[in-house]
Structure 1
Amino acid sequence: MKISSIIYYLSLSISALAHGDHSQTVLKKKPANLRWQDWHMSEEHNLDEYDGKTFFLLHDLKGLGKWDHDDVLNLYGIKHEQIIGDGSGMGENSITITKETQRMVVDSIFQLFDLNNDGTISLEEWLSFHDAGKELPDFGFGQGHHLDFESEYEEHHWNKYHAQNDPDTKIKHKEDIEHELLHHKHEIEETHDRSSRLKKFANDYLSNIRLDNLTPKYRI
């Protein structure tokens, strides 16, 4: 087979493997009657009533009495590179969280709180904001799920309905089926992502092949 034919069929096969649906998911929208932090506490922590200090301590990941950049990203559920489904273990497609997006969220929050510009948000700075009845910005990433989508499904559904009485998940709820579909779809998308890396590697390799260095019988 001529080298040109090999390149042609290799490129076709890699392109087919890399093809996939990477459209963006529809995340949940905040109810109009709730502040973002109230929605977050209700949905993610099952707390409809809380005080400002409780909120702060729940999101102080390192227990240092202050929030840093990672704490803010964790609060909004954008610490990881992707939000799978709607972040709850259910949903459809995934969205990519870029470094630019993370930087925008962190910068916006620190402009609200870090009044002494020390690179952290103290309990006092948070309480001054919270006790004044102010609302955290809604950046459109849902209610801020902290865990990966498998752990979120276990936390909010499997532990509640299956862990004790139905560990083999013989009773299927809508949430179980949706989670299984999301799990398999994510596996396929990961395969496609790996294939795109394979495509780049192959293209980089093939771009270094100089046809003019081949003996005449292998040329086009």
Structure 2
Amino acid sequence: MERKLEREERLKKMNEVERATEQKKLDEMKRKHNDHPKVHHPGSKDQLEDVWEEQDGMDRKDFDPKTFFYLHDVNGDGVLDEKEVESLFELELDKLYRQHKDIDEGDMLRRIEEMNRMREHLVKEVDTNGDRMISLEEFIVSRNQDGFLDDKGWEDLEDEEQFSDEEYEKFQKEYHDKHKVNILCSHSWISCQYLLHAIAAIYS
């Protein structure tokens, strides 16, 4: 939400020519971002077999879930922890955030956010005992779930709105209220304290 709002605020401050130029730049960045191969659903058969073949250097037709699990259980503790799960998504993330040379800090931050989303999604689907790790048994069982063979793809941050119109409007109001407080704070530290308490009371 903050990224969308900051983009809108930046456009508001520009004149008509600057706004048109910036919008064209944003549209081109979005076009480049969307020009990528299909992103597999996290934990699907196709996604894991791509890792097996391209990342692990194994023959695709020889895919073995138990061997795959042990290959990625790097510290050998019998479970895939969050970092080990995240390593499974590098190929998919490369499709989204490595297809053009002018990758910036914003793209790197979105890559991290996307990785977190994929990790949380897979853990939610596979972790049955709630310890936020994936055991060998949980991993094997997940291969019998509907989503394993049915690769529904993945909607990334640019494809999927992560918030409703009502949530965005509320965020806008909070953002602008806090921005006003910051301006007033620069003139009066005492007034700032009262205003911060007032804002906190409103949104508590």
Q: Would you say same fold, with TM above 0.5?
A: no
| Greater relative contact order structure (CA < 8 Å, 6+ sep) | 1
- The TM-score normalised by the length of structure 2 is 0.44
Question: Which of the pair has more CA radius of gyration?
Answer: 1
Normalized per residue, the structure richer in helix is 2
